[in-house]
Amino acid sequence: MPLKLLKKRRSGRVRTSSNPQMGACFSGFKEDRPKNGNKIIRVEQGLLEGTFLETSEGYKCDVFLGIPYASPPCGPLRFQKPQPPQRWSDVRKCGKFPNRSIHKEMPWDKALASAPQSEDCLYLNVHAPQIREDKKYPVLFYIHGGGFMMDSAERYTAKNICRLLVSKDIIVVTIHYRLGYLGFLSTGDDLCPGNFGLWDMLEALKWTHKNIASFGGDAENITLSGQSAGGASADLLSYSPLAAGLFKRKIVMGGNLYCHWAVQKKSAVREYCRDKAVRLGWKPRAEGYADQRDESQEMLDFFKTVPAGRLATTMFFNKTIFTECRLPLAPVIDGELLPDDIQTLRNTQTHVPSIVGGGEHEALLFAAIGLLRGTEKELRSAEAVIAQKTGLAISAVTDLIEKVYGDRGESKSQRQKIYINLVSDIFVNFANHRFIEDQNSRKIPCYAYSFDHQSKQQWGWLQHVVPFTGGTHTSDVTYLFDCNYMSSPLGMTKIDKEVSRMTGEYFTNFVKFGSPNAHHPTSSPTWEPTATPYKALSLKSEPEMRSTGYSGRMSMLAEFIEKMYEAPLTAKIMPPFENGPFSEVEIEVQA
């Protein structure tokens, strides 16, 4: 969204100033402010002009939107690693939100978006306090989620980032990266290994580490963070040897590398991409191929000719993503960015202090997206999928589920709760449990949370398509950034705002000091690091440390969840993303 739309004083949150601030100096660069009050700084590629914002409490910020961290991945650079950005000679104005990565979006998101979609999408945004000559600010580097196939950083508005986070004396960087087929297509061999979206994130992190001092940031105090697929990506990057030394700690919300959807087998991604190519019109040779590379080359050449809009993906209304509990387009072990299997990477790379967690009922949002209601039929379908993937009898799966979650009986509400808890555990909670175990075994500080605050106002119309409401997937970032993930027409209540403020305070303390408790008001409880039995901070109007319940529950679930992780994803089981409300039509993108 162009910043001019964010500067209305009526909002009471952000106002602008035209008073120039001249003469300050930081990191060898002279601060320059034209008469409009905007700041001009120099980065490696040239001069940038940001936009000056002031919160209603009087905190002064500089915002730079749409900074290119790599060259446009278009034409011959499609399906290539990101290349360095070109230099520019004039002052580059950074007051408008950059192009978003290509994906299919819901009508309400399209109506609210201001930036077009384009293959030319490799941009980042920097939100910084006005530089004080004697201060270096810690940095929160944030990767948005969306299942590696949708969403953007535009929903995190500059005014809310400045009001809630930058005002706590940190710098916030948000990024765009390639999504869907454009970001994660793979032929399963060295011809096109994939992981382009993950390479984009690494390039953005490198650019930030190299240039953040120009914004007043401390390059040696960067917290790598993300939510959902962004959280899993941040976790994956933290164990890549190529990211070593670029960050100091991490925050992973609603997803980490232990989630079985975080990494996919190369063969499965190849098969899924091959199926997509055929549906788009590619005709493999009837006589077959001498070897796989020949077919890979033809398939890749075909994908390079497909209009970008026809490669857009989404998660909305796709039940099988959530009943299969897999994402077919995802990072792969490519031998370079991710050189080894997950456990080897964890055993050989450096570990850092972390925050990990998610919503109390993570799968509620998945139920809304997939139009799932937790019916008896859906619960039995889930049991059948588990039985198929684990080799257990359905009766054994049913008995285990009832042992872990209780007797479903005849109660509709109990059955729905069992279903949501089961999918939550498979998708995120078990991975969080393994993450906590791993951190504790290495004696690395780990702070766990469960976002338990409930507000029907924040659910908006989606409250009518879920079995019940509560803290769920994206609830944490909704309150951390005051972003409207549910597209609710209603604003935050007074209690919502207090939960948002408190969440931001805990998280920014961690970014600044490595502990969420440093300089924290005594009126709020101390957020204790995890121990055995595991405890997490319950984020709600009256926060408290409480047992996660993970230890006993996860030990009972471990056997069949581990087997599910190992089971192959069959492309024929999971229909294409474009089924349902979305057809195989080209969406509008900017060239």
Q: Can you give the pLDDT at residue 151? A: 93
Which of 109-118, 169-178, 488-497, 540-549 is the most confident on average?
Answer: 169-178
Tokens 């597209």 -> residue: 487
Q: Is the Cα torsion angle 440, 250, 156, 255 positive or negative in sign?
A: negative
Measured between alpha carbons, how far is 496 from 484 in angstroms, rounded to an integer? Answer: 12
Q: Can you give the pLDDT at residue 317? A: 60
Q: What mean pLDDT do residues 398-422 have?
A: 87
Measured between alpha carbons, how far is 177 from 69 in angstroms, rounded to an integer? Answer: 10
What percent of the chain stands above pLDDT 90?
A: 64
CATH of the domain at 560: 3.40.50.1820
Least confident of 41-45, 185-189, 311-315, 451-455: 311-315
Q: Can you give the pLDDT at residue 582? A: 31
Q: Is the pLDDT of residue 52 over 90?
A: yes
Q: Can you give the pLDDT at residue 523? A: 60
Write the DSSP string, 527-564.
Answer: -PPP-SS-EEEEESSS-EEEE--HHHHHHHHHHHHHHH
Q: Can you give the pLDDT at residue 371? A: 60
Angle at 444 between CA 439 and CA 445, to 5 degrees: 100
Do residues 306 and 237 make contact, with C-beta atoms less than 8 angstroms apart? Answer: no
Q: Which two tokens stand for residue 57?
A: 């409490």
- 356-383 per-position pLDDT tens digit: 999 999 988 877 766 666 788 888 888 8
Q: Is the pLDDT of residue 13 over 50?
A: no
3-state SS, residue 63: strand
Instruction: Count the domains in the chain.
Output: 1
Type and span of the H or E element at 447: strand 446-451
Q: What mean pLDDT do residues 341-369 have?
A: 91
Q: Is 28 exposed, middle or buried (0-12, 13-18, 19+ CB in 10 A)?
A: exposed
Q: Can you give the pLDDT at residue 1? A: 38
Residue with more model confidence, 340 or 321: 340
Listed residue (174, 274, 170, 285) closest to 225, CA to CA: 174
What percent of the chain stands above pLDDT 70?
A: 83
Q: Can you give the pLDDT at residue 41? A: 96
Q: What mean pLDDT do residues 291-313 have?
A: 97
Q: Can you give the pLDDT at residue 35? A: 64
Q: Is the pLDDT of residue 515 over 50?
A: yes
- 231-283 per-position pLDDT tens digit: 999 999 999 999 999 999 999 999 999 998 999 999 999 999 999 999 999 99
Tokens 């959280």 -> residue: 231
Taking the model in full, what pTM does it have? 0.89
Q: Can you give the pLDDT at residue 34? A: 64
Full domain range(s) for residue 43: 1-591
Q: How confident is the model at residue 82 (pLDDT cuts 50, 70, 90)?
A: very high
Q: Can you give the pLDDT at residue 367? A: 78
Q: Is the pLDDT of residue 90 over 60?
A: yes
C-alpha dist (Å) from residue 406 to 244, 253, 403, 421, 428: 45, 28, 6, 11, 20
